[in-house]
Structure 1
Amino acid sequence: MFKSDVVLTLEEKIVRIERLFDAPIQLVWEVWTNPVHIEKWWGPKGFTNPTVEFDFKVGGSYRIVMRSPEGVDYPVKGKFLEITPFQSFVISDLVDEHPDEWVQEVQKMAGVTGDRDILNSKLRVLFEEAEGKTKVTLFTEFASNQIRDGFANSGMKEGWSDSFEKLETNALPNPNQISLEKKLNHPQELVFNALSNPLTIDSWWGPSGFKTTTQSMDFKVGGKWIFTMLGPDGKVWPNTILYKEIRKFDYLEYLHGSGEENKNDDFLVNVYLIALDKNQTLVKMQMTFPDTNVRNAVIGFGAIESGQQTLSKLNQYLEK
């Protein structure tokens, strides 16, 4: 089993932390930038994240409330200062809402006094891929080396080590799988109906720039949905979905492939529609491939981005 340790080093005003993950960069980026995934892993062991607000765009804000096993909240917040897709992002890290006791303890470790603002920092997260693995490096920049040392001695390495272990266990899918998740502000039944209606599914299915055309759709166990997707470059992609299980209104299972007899390209898709409340549904799509190499090749072709674009188009369609 793959195992990687967290490495911490000190640079001028910076605590540098790095860790290697056994997953392609697109998957690691997804679990770092999608709030549905972030709530599964952020924070030390035993901590939960009852609030994850993540407006992932330059100038957008984020706020994550970490709750300790004792019920104490540690909110972190800030703004996205820079984003280079699949390479890095930079955020401000503000401690405005942290408990006074925590602020006093860290100030004591750093040997500083004054306003809590002095503990604010800037975090750059860098992603680098090599041979199917991804190295994540955190550069946390503080106001001084003195404050840097105070944070480094306050359990920073241990906290991030716990978070990374949770990321690997709770957020990253199995080596032969891709997992996509998105919260939609629409009722579960409405989302299910959009997935099962042959008259309207063409209006939203597929990545941005693609046009879907249904030849036939027999929405029942053992039935098939046969359709084509026309790409922006004019190439036509044949698709066939064979429904294996349907549970109204919360679950679909199907085989998805090209439908061409000379190709063995089917993969299994499990779709979970989880009603979070009356008007909010969590869509979870889990795709299982024959092996890791096939999974990684599909990721290289843009499967994660295409899947997220499709779910975003579904959300836009339902809003209309």
Structure 2
Amino acid sequence: MYNQEVIVTLEEKIIRMERTFNAPLKLVWEVWTNPLHLEKWWGPKGFTNPTVEFDFKVGGSYRIVMRSPDGVDYPVTGKFLEITPYQSFVMTDLVDEHPDEWVIEVQKMAGVSGDRSNLNSKLRVLFEELNDITKVVLLTEFSNNQIRDGYVNSGMKEGWSQSFEKIESNVLPNPNELVIEKKLFHPIENVFAAFADKTNINIWWGPNGFITTTQTREFKVGGKWIYNMLGPDGTNYPNLVQYKEIRNCEYIEYLHGSGNPLKDDNFLVKIWFTSNQENQTIIKMKMTFPNTETRNSVVGFGAIEGAHQTLSRLNLYLN
């Protein structure tokens, strides 16, 4: 059952928090593990995240700098200890770089003193899905119950509750939409040119293991791209793209479907290209489907993984 309330319980050395989201598990996992999404929601309301470094793999490190409305930075660092895709991950949560004032205040609330490392913790994030509703459970483990209670008194529930609200308001798309964002380490001119290239697009377009064959392609407003994708299992997927708007190095919009007149399977795709830094481009793809059921179906079929694999293949192609 969908419930926006954050439920908090105290266990031995652990603060347990859980909350549900009205979205499929794979979509919620995406907003928790993609740094381009994380920077939009991590931290209480009013906080921004000017730095999000997130090497999401076992042994990988992360560093998130939360900046308060009055300009104070609260860097959080750590490493990923365990990752079970679409089920859970575990990471250390270190406050080594937090301001001294914050450390003193939390230690005072906990009734402890000494090295700030006694405020470090370990966070386990669990994901559970039922009928396209996803429950996220946070288990934060501290060195003792005294530190645990200090965090409770410091407003930990309120901070996480506001972060969860930002996930819904700032990150999760509308119920009939899917949004994919990815950073490519190439100039925007090269990335856009790859989308416009009617010949070489076959080399990288499609998820891993798929082979794309173009029948005809006119990359212009009103033009069509008719192609087939051959899956690893030998299944052939016909595709028809109808271009509605193209702005050089900025934006592409098109209708995408099978091209079968007996099927009402078209969906709208909008792609934004943004130059992030020199030789870096952020691609944002928004897919709008006829209804929530269709969106959830394609998510379950692997649309998020397929989109990331396609853009990763583009990154390798541009290398």
For the aligned pair, the TM-score class normalised by the smaller chain equals over 0.9
Match of 2:11?
11
Distance between the aligned counterparts of 1:126 and 1:41, measured in 2? 18
Aligned-residue sequence identity (percent) comes to 69
Match of 2:277?
277
Q: Considering only aligned residues, what root-mean-square deviation do their CA atoms show, in Å?
A: 0.9
Matches within 5 A, 1:70-89: 70-89=70-89
Matched, 1:261 2:261: yes
Q: What's the TM-score, normalizing by structure 1?
A: 0.98
Q: Unaligned 5+ residue runs, structure 1? A: none
Match of 2:103?
103
Distance between the aligned counterparts of 2:171 and 2:318, measured in 1? 27
Matches within 5 A, 1:188-199: 188-199=188-199
Q: Unaligned 5+ residue runs, structure 2? A: none
Match of 1:210?
210
Q: CA deviation at 1:277?
A: 2.9
Q: CA deviation at 1:315?
A: 1.1
Contact 2:3/2:19 (CA < 8 Å) preserved in 1? no
Q: What's the TM-score, normalizing by structure 2?
A: 0.98
Q: Give runs of ≥4 in structure 1 deviating > 2 Å.
A: none
Matched, 1:52 2:52: yes
Q: CA deviation at 1:3?
A: 5.5
Give the letter for the 2:219 counterpart: F
Deviations for 1:79-106, whole angstroms, at most 9, x for unmatched residues? 0100011110000011111111111111
Give the letter for the 2:33 counterpart: T
Deviates more, 1:210-219 or 1:141-150: 210-219
- Helix, strand or coil at the partner of 1:30: helix
Give the letter for the 1:130 counterpart: L
Deviations for 1:121-159, whole angstroms, at most 9, x for unmatched residues? 000000001111100000000000000000011000000
Match of 2:243?
243
Distance between the aligned counterparts of 2:39 and 2:284, measured in 1? 15
Q: CA deviation at 1:278?
A: 3.2
Distance between the aligned counterparts of 2:213 and 2:200, measured in 1? 10
Distance between the aligned counterparts of 1:267 and 1:201, measured in 2? 21
Deviations for 1:223-277, whole angstroms, at most 9, x for unmatched residues? 1111111111011111110001111111000001111121111100000001123
Match of 1:154?
154
Give the letter for the 1:179 counterpart: V
Match of 2:219?
219
Give the letter for the 2:186 counterpart: H
- Helix, strand or coil at the partner of 2:276: strand
Distance between the aligned counterparts of 1:142 and 1:249, measured in 2? 49
Deviates more, 1:201-210 or 1:270-279: 270-279
